[in-house]
Amino acid sequence: MGANGDQSTEKDPKADSPRIYNGQIRRVVDEKSRLNIPSRWRDPRYTEFHALPDSNNPCLRLLNADELWRMKRTLDESTAYSAAEKKKFRRRWFSRATPCPIDRQGRIVIPPDLQKRYQFSGEVVIVGACECLELWHPSAWEAEEAKDDLPVDAMADELGF
């Protein structure tokens, strides 16, 4: 309600903001291939994630619908490709994204083919990667963290973070 008791028409500024994922946590994939997504990463605007294999890393990306729409807009606005190339890319790229509904307990089911591909049985690491979540096998994540190929702290300083 507004100051005078009337219904406020102001929108919640966070309601339209893109979701930002940060931090990391270890969770267990249960015997039914379910993975609990921590509540801090759940958003009532989304009833599912979309599991998309990462082309360049040994991890599975979990994207919300807004991120898929952003990818579509980026492709549509690109002038680097013909309409035919865009159509073929759209078909091949988006067909890789598997919907993973979020149940009432905040769990998703990891599709069996992806669970096997990434060896997700037992513990996994869920990593907040800004616009998406990433699922990593613990040993793959430890190897990624141990890499010294990007001077993160120096880069953060240059960016003024």
- Answer whether residue 113 is part of any domain: yes
- Answer whether residue 111 is part of any domain: yes
Which range marks the domain in which residue 79 is found? 24-159
- Answer whether residue 2 is part of any domain: no
State the pLDDT at residue 10: 55
> Over the stretch 111-143, which tens digit does the pLDDT of each residue have?
999 999 999 999 999 999 999 999 999 999 999
State the pLDDT at residue 3: 46
User: CATH number for the domain including 146?
Assistant: 3.40.1550.20
Chain CA centroid to CA 159, Å: 24
Number of domains in the chain: 1
Please spell the DSSP secondary structure of 108-125, one letter per residue.
EEPPHHHHHHTT-SEEEE
State the pLDDT at residue 130: 94
- Answer whether residue 19 is part of any domain: no
What count of residues does the chain have? Answer: 161
Q: Where are the alpha helices (H) located in 24-101, listed in sequence order?
A: 65-77, 83-94
2 — pLDDT class (breaks 50, 70, 90):
very low
- Answer whether residue 13 is part of any domain: no
Report the chain's mean pLDDT, rounded to a whole number.
90
- Answer whether residue 112 is part of any domain: yes
- Answer whether residue 126 is part of any domain: yes
Residue 35's CB is within 10 A of a number of other CB atoms, namely 21
pTM of the model: 0.85
> Over the stretch 36-92, which tens digit does the pLDDT of each residue have?
999 999 999 999 999 999 999 999 999 999 999 999 999 999 999 999 999 999 999
- Answer whether residue 93 is part of any domain: yes
